[in-house]
Amino acid sequence: MAYSDKVIDHYENPRNVGSFSKDEPDVGTGIVGAPECGDVMKLQLKINDAGVIEDARFKTFGCGSAIASSSYVTELVKGKSLEDALTIKNTQIVEDLSLPPVKIHCSVLAEDAIKAAISDWKKRHGESLEAGSKPADKAASNQ
Amino acid sequence: MGRVIYMDNHATTPMDPRVLEAMLPYFTDKFGNAASRNHQFGWDAEAAVDQARDQMGRLINAKAKEIIFTSGATESDNLAIKGVVEFYKDKGNHIITAVTEHKAILDTCKALERTGKARVTYLPVDQQGLIDPDDVRKAITDKTILISIMHANNEIGTIHPLREIGKIAKEKNIIFHSDATQGVGKIPVDVEGMGIDLMSFTAHKLYGPKGCGALYVRSKGPRVRLTPMMDGGGHERGMRSGTLNVPGIVGFGKACELAGAEMETETARQLQLRERLHEGLFSQLDELYLNGHPTQRLPGNLNVSFAFVEGESLLMGLKDVAVSSGSACTSATLEPSYVLKALGVGDDLAHTSIRFGLGRFNTQEEVDRVIERVVHEVRRLRDMSPLYEMAKEGVDLKSFQWARE
């Protein structure tokens, strides 16, 4: 199977690989997929008080397209508000990375990872952040 | 990027230049049809085919006339199984085979089950991929007409105890077929000593041309009969009609001759290279798992799971090395290797498996280069792997609550 140039670029030069400490109050962590399915993505978002994603990190176990998809979304979400980040659809990832049909699940996983990371952050800040308002107390952290 | 190193010799092998040289005249000057009985062109072709049968027979301890030419091992497997089921249908309809057989066997058996022509027992294997001959014995019924067990497995290289199974088949008067595609030319094959009645093999796995296979069909003790799959001119003792692929057959014969002459030294050489590869990888990386049998395996085979690194992503990184993976992402079915699954290897580790297939033309320099490249890529991908990180933090990945799709 031939990979698109963009997939190869993200695979060979992945952006924002690494981890934030899960205990940092402004970090939301999403882990999606399962080892026996051959794909696990961990996406971490650093979200400021204004509800804007300031930074992102990922680690991915999966094929080249899964690695590229997660690397790509770390770039995509940076600087976005939570609402805007939640509008990112897997189809956009498919299009931008020219993923073939058999790799669509990689893009779905990447979309899920964004949602999971934001949901984790929200949970840790109480459910009060429906519209990007001031985050709730740090005590809500479940980590 | 320099030259790509080919280390996928279970998939196919490059032709040996000596084989090509033997074949060339039969494309041009000696183009005759081996079935033409009344002129020099036909006689030359027939003589060449006879010589090839002889070379092949010598490698597997068979008589020349017991070699039936086909288009490849898949056709040989189909002909053997369907041919026996059809011809011996009054005797019974039960086949015994194993779960780790090649798809050419498994799918042929499934097709026969679907059409109600056969009942099939798929024997399990142990954690190293070995069949227990006792299981074969226990599976036999009064309706059993065929036992089909491969010689060496194409993914993990495990070599089955054919001699013992052949003995049981003889004792019970059941036809014994073996798909020896991976074994012939690599390890000793003796159809007499092993009690094999039918055996599939193919030229392109032993440095011969593609599109040229063979089925050994025992002529005596017992004489095995087959219903042909194609109707036609009655070539090959009536079992496989069609004009013979003379250049291919000449190449097949030459390839068998070379494999037999060089087997001893080549086996020793490949074993040494494989041990070097094994040692080089296992001494530098942690969490590696050998798939298959530690000793009962093809000299050129090494199958390793690189835990926490998905196979396809590793192959993508190893773009200057040609190997293959049991990862679902590299298979047409999107399922990880059914062979590894049969060994009890979990899907998580099956996704991380790589098959190295060493061959005649691999060198020690290449092995060293492959070790270096694999170690580098595995480290890079593990740095990127959430699973490796979690495992190092002491998270139990088996009990972790995964958010499945």
Q: Are residue B213 and residue B275 in the same domain, yes or no?
A: no
Q: Percent of chain B beyond pLDDT 70?
A: 98
Q: Does B287 lie at the interface with A, CB-CB under 8 angstroms?
A: no
**Residue at a domain's end among B236, B258, B280:** B258
Q: Are residue B238 and residue B275 in the same domain, yes or no?
A: no
Beta bridge partners of B289: B305
**Residue at a domain's end among B239, B258, B277:** B258
Q: Are residue B210 and residue B271 in the same domain, yes or no?
A: no
Q: Are residue B272 and residue B248 in the same domain, yes or no?
A: no
Residue B27 placed within a domain: yes
| A108:B327 CB<8 A | no
Residue B180 placed within a domain: yes
Closest partner residue to A61 (CB to CB) among B317, B346, B387 is B387
Residue B385 structure tokens? 């792997």
Q: Does B178 lie at the interface with A, CB-CB under 8 angstroms?
A: no
Closest alpha carbon within chain B to A2: B316
Find chain B residues with C-beta within 8 A of A14's C-beta. 384
The CA distance from B405 to the nearest CA of chain A, in Å, is: 6
Q: Are residue B128 and residue B60 in the same domain, yes or no?
A: yes
**Residue at a domain's end among B258, B292, B307:** B258
| B308:A17 CB<8 A | no
Closest CA to B255 of B204, B189, B292, B200: B204
A37 is catalytic: yes
Q: Which residues of A touch B (CB under 8 A)?
A: 3, 11, 14, 17, 19, 31-42, 59-64, 66-67, 102, 105, 108-109, 112, 116
Q: Are residue B173 and residue B111 in the same domain, yes or no?
A: yes
The string of pLDDT tens digits covering residues A4-58 is 999 999 999 999 999 999 888 899 999 999 998 899 999 999 999 999 999 999 9
Q: In the structure, what pLDDT confidence band is assigned to residue A137 with cuts at 50, 70 and 90?
A: very low
Closest CA to A41 of A101, A112, A122, A119: A112
Cβ neighbours around A21 below 10 Å, total:
9
Helix axes B103-114, B73-87, angle to 10 degrees: 30
Closest partner residue to B404 (CB to CB) among A14, A37, A108 is A37
Domains of chain A: 5-121 (3.90.1010.10)
Sheet holding B288-290, edge to edge: B288-290, B301-306, B353-357, B324-325
| B309:A61 CB<8 A | yes
Closest partner residue to B404 (CB to CB) among A19, A34, A61 is A34
Residue B72 placed within a domain: yes
The CA distance from B316 to the nearest CA of chain A, in Å, is: 7
ipTM of the complex: 0.87
The CA distance from B317 to the nearest CA of chain A, in Å, is: 8
Write out residues in chain B with pLDDT < 50, as ranges: 1
Q: Are residue B38 and residue B183 in the same domain, yes or no?
A: yes
Residue B33 placed within a domain: yes
B280: CATH: 3.90.1150.10
What pLDDT, on the 0 to 100 scale, is given for residue A2? 79
The rounded distance, in Å, linking the Cα atoms of B382 and A117 is 22
Residue B401 placed within a domain: no
Q: Are residue B122 and residue B201 in the same domain, yes or no?
A: yes
DSSP string over B25-48: GGTTTT---TT--SSHHHHHHHHH
Cβ neighbours around B405 below 10 Å, total:
12
Choose the catalytic residue: A63, A67, A106, A110: A106
Residues A46-51: contacts with CB under 8 Å, at least 24 apart:
A46/A20, A47/A82, A47/A118, A47/A121, A47/A135, A49/A134, A49/A135, A50/A81, A50/A132, A51/A81, A51/A82, A51/A83, A51/A129, A51/A132, A51/A133, A51/A135
Closest alpha carbon within chain A to B389: A59
Q: Are residue B254 and residue B273 in the same domain, yes or no?
A: no
What mean pLDDT is predicted for residues A81-92? 96
Pairing of strands B301-306, B353-357: antiparallel
Q: Is A32 helix (H, G, I), strand (E, B) or coil?
A: strand
The CA distance from B330 to the nearest CA of chain A, in Å, is: 9
Residue B397 placed within a domain: no
Q: Are residue B222 and residue B268 in the same domain, yes or no?
A: no
B192: CATH: 3.40.640.10
Q: Percent of chain A beyond pLDDT 70?
A: 87
Structural domain for B306, as ranges? 5-10+264-392
B212 is catalytic: no
Residue B384 placed within a domain: yes
The string of pLDDT tens digits covering residues B311-342 is 999 999 999 999 999 887 766 666 899 999 99
The string of pLDDT tens digits covering residues B12-49 is 999 999 999 999 999 999 999 999 999 999 999 999 99
Closest CA to B307 of A11, A18, A33, A35: A35
Residue B400 placed within a domain: no
Q: What is residue B224's DSSP assignment?
A: P
What pLDDT, on the 0 to 100 scale, is given for residue B402? 86
Q: Does B395 lie at the interface with A, CB-CB under 8 angstroms?
A: no
Q: Are residue B229 and residue B289 in the same domain, yes or no?
A: no
Number of domains in chain B: 2
Q: Are residue B387 and residue B304 in the same domain, yes or no?
A: yes
Inter-CA distances, A94 with A31, A71, A105, A111, B130, Å = 20, 13, 9, 11, 43
